[in-house]
A = this chain, B = another copy of it.
């Protein structure tokens, strides 16, 4: 494994964003769906087993008008966490990697950072110091790398980063590291009249930069954390400027709040992967909020138990703990009590990434 905190602003040739593996796969997937879905397995990257069966039974029940579990299309809403649920979050969240890369790019114009924490440790590549960063430290890093510019300028930075940056270990664009089995679930749901939303603790504008191309999720169906923005008129051009102030944190209880705020309807299916022991961060409340409604419900958690093909972490199953996307013992207890389906990446997924043979 490569140094997880090493700042890599790659010098490789630029690739057109649309040609990343994941995006191309999504587009191919769409064509397959459109031509001959009915006869084929809608979840070919899943091994047979209870997890796959639960997804298929849920889709069948909620779309069969003769079923007592039938749900009107307008209420077929499924929400997906992103980091660790739709794409790889280790060794660091993709957005954190973006922030560190931006910091390295910006450093020449900020000589003072060499003497000032938390920037000093990042620029020195001091992993030990970085592993102890507080939330306030990360907020400082996010403030200088994510704000002080218009939303449009920010999106351009994200798109550019996606075409050049490579994820550790795999040495591929971050958008190659989306989970093929989850793309298939999203496509299957959409082919059956569902709307799929991303509900992420990550930045709303960050994810919007690629949600449509990578996941087939339009911008208006991305719910995430956000900064305060201010409408400014610069020489007759209106812009929404990103301010260094948190507006909304879409994490933990914030996911239920964000779902109500942005969607205004309760999902009938929710997919996550993480939860701290106190549930202040992660997906527990999103799944609880989903389950608390009447009628058919599907709640699933992705467990990262495949060190060979991806990563393995989570104290709940005696895997290493981590501050990035932890699957706590408390989350497992809650999942068991509420009969949520835990997806084993190792056992339930035939293929994790589209680039695997």
Write the residues of chain A forming the contact surface with B, with a CB cutoff of 8 angstroms: 74, 151, 204, 208, 218-220, 222, 226, 229-231, 237-238, 240, 253, 256-257, 260-265, 285, 288-289, 292
In the complex, the answer to whether B292 meets A218 with C-beta atoms within 8 Å is no
Give the 5 A-B residue pairs with the shortest CB-CB distance, closest first.
A219-B264, A231-B253, A231-B256, A238-B292, A220-B263
Task: Specify the chain B residue showing the minimal Cβ separation from A285.
Answer: B231
13 further contact pairs, Cβ within 8 A, besides A218-B264, A219-B265: A151-B260, A204-B261, A208-B264, A229-B261, A230-B257, A231-B256, A231-B285, A231-B289, A238-B256, A238-B292, A240-B256, A240-B257, A262-B262
Task: Specify the chain B residue showing the minimal Cβ separation from A223.
Answer: B262
Task: Specify the chain B residue showing the minimal Cβ separation from A195.
Answer: B220
Residues of B within 8 A of A237 (CB): 292
Task: Specify the chain B residue showing the minimal Cβ separation from A74.
Answer: B218
Residues of B within 8 A of A220 (CB): 262-265
List 28 contacting pairs A-B, 8 Å CB cutoff, sorted by A.
A74-B218, A151-B260, A204-B264, A208-B264, A218-B264, A218-B265, A219-B264, A219-B265, A220-B262, A220-B263, A220-B265, A222-B264, A226-B261, A229-B261, A230-B253, A230-B257, A231-B253, A231-B256, A231-B257, A231-B285, A231-B289, A237-B292, A238-B256, A238-B288, A238-B289, A240-B256, A240-B257, A240-B260
CA distance A208 to B208 in the complex (A): 25
Residues of B within 8 A of A261 (CB): 204, 226, 229
Residues of B within 8 A of A219 (CB): 263-265
Residues of B within 8 A of A226 (CB): 261
Residues of B within 8 A of A253 (CB): 230-231
Residues of B within 8 A of A208 (CB): 264
CB distance from A76 to the nearest CB of B (A): 12
